[in-house]
Structures are given as C-alpha cells and as structure tokens.
C-alpha cells in the first residue's frame, strides 16, 4: 500500500466493517452496507447544501461538523403542529443528528463542512415550504 495524501475536498473516506479505509467518490444518498463515510465540502451557497431538501439517514446518526464559516441546521418537526428546531453551528462546532431524523442546512457564510455517517439508505425529500 502506498501512503499518499488524499484531498478531502475531492474524495470521501470510506470506513469498511472489516477495518479497511479507502478514498472513494463521495456518495450523497447511498453506499455499501455498513460503510461509514467521512466527507468534507467547501460550500458557498445554500444550493450546495441542498437547503431546499430534507435529508434523513435511517441506519445511523450523523455528525455534521462546521470547520469554517457558519451554518444553521434545521430539524423537521416531529408533528405538523411543531416548529422546526434550529441549531446554530459556528466554525469549530458539530452536532449529532439522531438516526432517522429529517434535517437540512442553510449557510450563514461560505463554509467548510464535514459529515460522518452511514449513507446506506439515505433519503432526500423536496421541501414543500421551500422559499
């Protein structure tokens, strides 16, 4: 095995159940069963974080990390009468999104983000209240 640097803004790291780690293409809505993905993104606009969609990971929690900039993470209400829950993430902070919880992001500024989760079974759903 050759040890070389991996550009985390161009590739994701996939952690396999057998202990293997490899650089791979980032996958937003699916991956091999049991494979954890660490993905890093530079984003300038809400469109790049699919602010007009809700996202949900049925098989694991997700760590959403704001490395630089600032974002707001919204959790979809559990019932229609509830309000969205918002978590402010300034640079250097993270939040754990519970397994199966619908969530979305909006930017406060251009940001570098990192997500860690099992992407297998991930679902996206268009917001009906999108601006």
Domain segments of the chain as ranges: 12-126
Give the model's pLDDT for residue 30: 67
d(CA 95, CA 98) in angstroms, rounded, equals 9
* Structure confidence at residue 128 (pLDDT): 85
Query: 85: Cβ–Cβ under 8 A, 6 or more apart, which residues?
Result: 74, 75, 77
* Strand-pair partners of 85: 75
Partners of 17 in the β-ladder:
none
Give pLDDT, residue 2: 65
Residue by residue, what is the 3-state secondary structure of 33-45? CCCEEEEEEEECC
Q: Report how far residue 54's alpha carbon sits from residue 35's, in angstroms, rounded to the nearest whole number.
A: 22
Query: How far is the C-alpha of 4 from the C-alpha of 24, rounded, in Å?
Result: 14
Q: Is 48 left (phi over 0), alpha (psi -120 to 50) or beta?
A: alpha
What is 12-126's CATH superfamily? Jelly Rolls (2.60.120.10)
| pLDDT given at position 1 | 57
**Longest pairwise C-alpha distance within the chain:** 55
Q: What is the pLDDT of residue 3?
A: 85
Each residue's pLDDT tens digit, 18-53: 999 999 988 776 667 789 999 999 999 999 998 999
Task: Round to whole Å and give the CA distance between 108 and 46.
Answer: 9
| pLDDT less than 50: residues of the chain | none
Q: Are 102 and 54 in contact (CB under 8 A)?
A: yes
């Amino acid at each position: 095995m050759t040890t070389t640097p991996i550009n985390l803004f161009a590739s994701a790291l996939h952690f396999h159940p057998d202990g293997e780690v490899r650089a791979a293409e980032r996958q937003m809505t699916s991956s091999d069963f049991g494979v954890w993905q660490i993905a890093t993104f530079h984003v300038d606009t809400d469109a790049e974080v699919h602010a007009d969609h809700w996202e949900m990971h049925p098989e694991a929690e997700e760590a959403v990390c704001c490395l630089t900039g600032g974002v707001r993470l919204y959790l979809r209400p559990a019932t229609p009468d509830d309000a969205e829950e918002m978590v402010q993430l300034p640079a250097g902070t993270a939040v754990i999104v519970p397994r199966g919880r619908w969530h979305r992001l909006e930017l406060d500024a251009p940001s570098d983000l990192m997500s860690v989760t099992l992407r297998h079974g991930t679902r996206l759903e268009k917001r009906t209240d999108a601006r």
